[in-house]
Amino acid sequence: MVLFSVPGPFTPTCSEQHLPGYIRHIDSFADKGVDAVACVSVSDPFVMAAWGKVSGADDRVLMISDGNGALAAATGTELDASAMGLGTRSQRYAMVVRNGLVEHLFLEGGPQLEVSSAENVLSHL
């Protein structure tokens, strides 16, 4: 599976580039043997469901809520966005998980979208 994390649903980079890239390339992931593509964010499940619906993720990209940031804490990917009024979030990343093991981790070094993009992840499958 491919799991990618975004700092915030409905935020510009996440909504205009990150999630749409995975939606656009969902068939390419399937062609490379990926069983599931999931998007996770430190947000509540209602926001994640609404964002998935308006973005066209439908049932193609699983929209997962890390409501209390437990996954972000466990993976060491917490992001302190309190200076922007957003509290604790998750850094932007993508990972390829095979048989329960993280095979590749693509962690962004800042607010940009480069290594965790759908196109970059596809190039490593």
| pLDDT for position 24 | 97
- Which residues have CB under 8 Å from 81's CB, separation 6+? 7, 8, 87, 88, 89
Q: Which two tokens stand for residue 29?
A: 């992931």
CA distance 59 to 61: 6
Closest to 38 in 3D by CA, of 13, 11, 17, 57:
57
24 lies in which domain range? 2-123
Q: Are 86 and 80 in contact (CB under 8 A)?
A: no
| pLDDT for position 57 | 96
Going residue by residue through the chain, which has 125 residues, state the pLDDT in tens, using 9 for 90 and above. Answer: 999 999 999 989 999 999 999 999 999 999 999 999 999 999 999 999 999 999 999 889 999 999 999 999 999 999 878 777 776 889 999 999 999 999 999 999 888 899 999 999 999 99
39 is catalytic: no
| pLDDT for position 89 | 83
CA 35 centroid distance within chain: 16
Considering the candidates 14, 61, 79, 121, report the single residue annotated as catalytic: 14
Q: What is the CATH number of the domain that holds 24?
A: 3.40.30.10
Sheet containing strand 2-5, edge to edge, reads 62-65, 37-41, 2-5, 93-98, 101-107
Tally of domains in the chain: 1
- SS3 call for 32: coil
